[in-house]
């Protein structure tokens, strides 16, 4: 493998080293260099091993490009690559450009001959491999990118294992190679779609303007593979559905599977999560990665004791372009493919490359499924309409079953806002085993003009609606609702999901019957929790939001338990523990944890119920009860307690009286980076003000 890191032509590779003449022997180049053997050949030239005549023992990799096959802009692109390499020669881990010669028939690009293979192939040859080894490599990658991005304002745009080369078979020095897509970043950013599908950032897929942060996404993918042994976004072995791969990337939908990640430090997982953040505004820079706990604080001796040999075993499965072959090469974005495959994008890095790669991406994004929504369902009555989406009752044409469908008009969304929908879809799909407690996503259709989300039809409204209709209401009813909510939350948390917008309106009933199923819905703000206290976007419904979110402290599933504490309080006395005239006053009251049991209202309510609330409305999330602990408490466990039969109709009256005031702060909000909160369309919760993991909106099909 050479410093230019080209994909080797299959025929040339099978035939072995060649001495077939693909250069001008009378050229000025040949007066300086001795051509030894050709080891790669493509549509626009060849790659040779050559030595300078002044030092025949030294070997370089020489790319020989046939100028007759290049357009004018192709040649401009070659010159741009050469200029980038010259500018980066002060960086010790960038592949050195030795020489560049222009002659009438050929262009000659002479580079350092990196004979040690690529990074992953070297790793798979190791007998021992620890997390410290992975960190040492990551530090080199981060330092090089920090220099590229800050000192030179250059973005690579095609970082992947094959473009990280080892100097030779004995040393561990790493070189960044293949700068065919590298560019200087302008103030307005770049927009060309390029890169390798499994490593490309979501903003490139979406055709949005981007800057150096796209490299950090790619490094996040590489680091994930170095530690876990498999890629975070990939197609099934032998698969070729780029549409599904791109959907996962756009949603940032990845998981640290326990079997592969149980020994990896939480600090490493936290760093990866900050690199694989869909919103580039919140994605870590190279400098921030270098200052992260994993890089800057963890003791190397401790990391050297974390064995990653199992990850190497997994990594070997992906070496040699096996399972990753489709993801890496199905779309020939990469410069190696541009150079070697005339049937792919060709060598033009500005015109044909952009047009063809745009075409391929657009086809993948807009590819029609085998069946469309209209083929399977018929739309009935309208249930609710928002600015971006409308919820309808629908009927399956075959089974005649009734469902709810949320239809989202994509023209109303920015391309980046697809993430909000896709994230909620992936969250709901991951909760498919919990149909008893969670509204189920039954079908999802991504079509060019609309998203269709087909879900359980919950036609009897929410828990508040049911409570207000009651003529009898006792503490036992509140306990029953609390138990269902806690069990649903326990299921979500076991699946690694934080809901982040729990409230009575998100508990839906399937029918008007007394024994109707109650399910939790609205996963618009839900996020996967990869490590404790790792969520940083700020969102929620004002009355129910946890203090750590208001304080802008990283949070996790424990924020849901605070919300449940507010709900239980409300279910028992008809008003929440936090009530003020303005949102600012309300937030200050929550931050201060300023609440109490008012004696007159709580005189007849059991001490066991109050004990549960006291352990949920705790400002320190570490000390707050978990769902497991709450389910084990005396109030939930002792169903025979006489206190649970205490009449609470006065609480219902209180709720009726205060309902209008409660609605004042019942709309979900998200916080911008500057700290301002912004209301969200309750039908979708899609909004520009998102945090580092993003915040999606309600895709819940509530028929309320």
Which residues have a catalytic role annotated? 501
CA–CA distance, 347 with 74 (Å, rounded to integer)? 7
* Among 187, 194, 195, residue whose Cα is nearest residue 211: 187
Query: If you search the block for the tokens 């604080």, which residue do you land on?
Result: 297
Contact 477, 531 (CB under 8 A): no
* Among 166, 700, 610, residue whose Cα is nearest residue 405: 700
CA–CA distance, 104 with 685 (Å, rounded to integer)? 60
**Rounded to an integer, what is the distance from CA 3 to the centroid of its chain?**
31
Burial bucket for residue 216 (CB in 10 Å: 0-12, 13-18, 19+): buried
Contact 279, 694 (CB under 8 A): yes
CA–CA distance, 363 with 367 (Å, rounded to integer)? 5
CB atoms under 10 Å from CB of 598, counted, come to: 11
Contact 409, 388 (CB under 8 A): yes
Contact 171, 348 (CB under 8 A): no
Coil/strand/helix, residue 379: strand
Beta-bridged to residue 647, according to DSSP, are 474
Burial 125-146 (b: 16+ CB within 10 A, else e): eeeebbbbbbbebbebbbbbbb
Query: If you search the block for the tokens 């919820």, which residue do you land on?
Result: 391
Q: For the packed helices 213-228 and 131-146, what is the interaxial angle rounded to 10 degrees? A: 170
Return the structure tokens found at 467.
Answer: 């409570």
Return the structure tokens found at 537.
Answer: 């976007």
Beta-bridged to residue 507, according to DSSP, are 520
Angle at alpha carbon of residue 194, lines to 188 and 198, rounded to 5°: 120
Return the structure tokens found at 332.
Answer: 């020939």
CA–CA distance, 694 with 431 (Å, rounded to integer)? 20
Residue 244's alpha-carbon distances to 234, 345, 425, 450, 630, in angstroms, are 9, 22, 13, 17, 39
CA–CA distance, 76 with 64 (Å, rounded to integer)? 16
Return the structure tokens found at 408.
Answer: 């989202």
- E strands, 516-643, are 518-520, 527-528, 539-540
* Among 528, 692, 555, residue whose Cα is nearest residue 619: 555
Return the structure tokens found at 98.
Answer: 């030795």
Burial bucket for residue 262 (CB in 10 Å: 0-12, 13-18, 19+): exposed
DSSP assignment of 633-646 = SHHHH-TT-GGGG-
Contact 692, 282 (CB under 8 A): yes
CA–CA distance, 430 with 438 (Å, rounded to integer)? 11
DSSP 21: -
Q: What order do you get walking across the sheet with 60-66 strand by strand?
A: 33-42, 45-52, 60-66, 106-112, 97-102
Contact 521, 427 (CB under 8 A): no
Beta-bridged to residue 631, according to DSSP, are none
CA–CA distance, 123 with 336 (Å, rounded to integer)? 22
CA–CA distance, 414 with 416 (Å, rounded to integer)? 5
């Amino acid at each position: 493998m050479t410093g230019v890191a080209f994909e080797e032509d299959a025929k040339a590779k099978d035939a072995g080293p060649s001495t077939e003449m693909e250069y001008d022997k009378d050229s000025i180049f040949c007066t300086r260099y001795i051509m030894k053997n050709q080891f790669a050949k493509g549509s626009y030239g060849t790659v040779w091993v050559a030595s300078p005549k002044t030092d025949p023992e030294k070997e370089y990799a020489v790319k020989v490009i046939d100028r007759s096959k290049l357009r004018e802009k192709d040649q401009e692109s070659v010159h741009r690559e050469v200029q980038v390499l010259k500018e980066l020669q002060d960086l010790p881990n960038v592949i050195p450009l030795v020489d560049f010669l222009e002659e009438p028939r050929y262009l000659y690009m002479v580079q350092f001959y990196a004979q040690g293979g690529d990074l992953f192939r070297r790793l798979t040859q190791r007998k021992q491999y620890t997390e410290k080894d992975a960190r040492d490599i990551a530090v080199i990658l981060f330092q090089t990118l920090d220099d590229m991005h800050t000192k030179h304002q250059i973005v690579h745009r095609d970082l992947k294992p094959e473009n990280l080369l080892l100097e030779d078979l004995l040393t561990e020095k790493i070189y960044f190679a293949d700068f065919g897509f590298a560019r200087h970043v302008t103030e307005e950013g770049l927009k060309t779609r390029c890169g390798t599908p499994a490593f490309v950032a979501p903003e490139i897929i979406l055709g949005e303007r981007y800057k150096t942060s796209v490299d950090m996404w790619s490094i996040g993918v590489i680091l994930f593979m170095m530690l876990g042994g498999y890629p975070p976004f990939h197609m099934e072995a032998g698969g070729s559905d780029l549409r599904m791969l791109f959907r996962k990337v756009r949603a940032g939908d990845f998981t640290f599977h326990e079997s592969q990640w149980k020994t990896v430090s939480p600090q490493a997982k936290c760093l990866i999560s900050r690199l694989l953040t869909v919103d580039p505004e919140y994605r870590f820079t190279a400098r921030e990665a270098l200052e992260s706990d994993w890089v800057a604080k963890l003791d190397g001796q401790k990391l050297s004791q974390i064995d990653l040999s199992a990850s190497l075993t997994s990594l070997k499965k992906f070496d040699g372009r096996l399972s990753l072959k489709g993801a890496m090469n199905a779309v020939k974005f990469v410069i190696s493919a541009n150079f070697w495959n005339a049937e792919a994008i060709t060598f033009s890095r500005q015109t044909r490359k952009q047009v063809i790669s745009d075409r391929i991406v657009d086809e993948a994004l807009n590819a029609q499924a085998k069946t469309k929504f209209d083929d399977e369902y018929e739309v009935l009555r309208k249930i609710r309409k928002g600015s971006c989406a409308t919820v309808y009752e629908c009927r399956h044409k075959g089974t005649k079953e009734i469902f709810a469908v949320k239809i989202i008009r994509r023209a109303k969304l920015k391309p980046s806002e697809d993430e909000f929908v896709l994230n909620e879809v992936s969250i709901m799909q991951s909760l498919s085993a919990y149909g008893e407690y969670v509204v189920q996503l039954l079908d999802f259709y991504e079509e060019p003009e609309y998203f269709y989300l087909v879900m359980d039809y919950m036609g009897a409204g929410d828990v508040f609606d049911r409570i207000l209709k009651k003529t009898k209401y006792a503490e036992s009813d509140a306990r029953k609702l609390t138990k269902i909510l806690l069990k649903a939350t326990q299921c979500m948390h076991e699946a690694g999901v934080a809901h982040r917008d729990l409230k009575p309106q998100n508990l839906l009933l399937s029918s008007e019957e007394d024994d109707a199923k109650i399910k939790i819905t609205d996963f618009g703000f839900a996020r996967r929790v990869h490590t404790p206290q790792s969520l940083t976007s700020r969102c929620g419904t004002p009355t129910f939001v946890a203090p750590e979110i208001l304080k802008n402290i990283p949070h996790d599933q424990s924020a849901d338990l605070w919300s449940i504490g507010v709900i239980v309080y409300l279910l028992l006395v008809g008003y929440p523990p936090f009530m003020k005239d303005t949102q600012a006053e309300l937030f200050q009251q929550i931050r201060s944890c300023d609440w109490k049991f008012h004696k007159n209202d709580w005189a007849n309510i059991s001490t066991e119920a109050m004990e549960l609330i006291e352990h949920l409305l705790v400002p320190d999330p570490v000390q707050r009860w978990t769902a497991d602990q709450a389910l084990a408490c005396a109030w939930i466990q002792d169903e025979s307690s006489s206190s649970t039969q205490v009449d609470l109709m006065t609480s219902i009256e209180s709720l009726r009286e205060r309902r209008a005031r409660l609605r004042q702060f019942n709309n979900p909000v998200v916080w911008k980076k500057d700290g301002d909160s912004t209301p969200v369309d309750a039908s979708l919760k899609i909004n520009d003000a998102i945090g580092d993991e993003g915040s999606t909106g309600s895709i819940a099909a509530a028929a309320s």
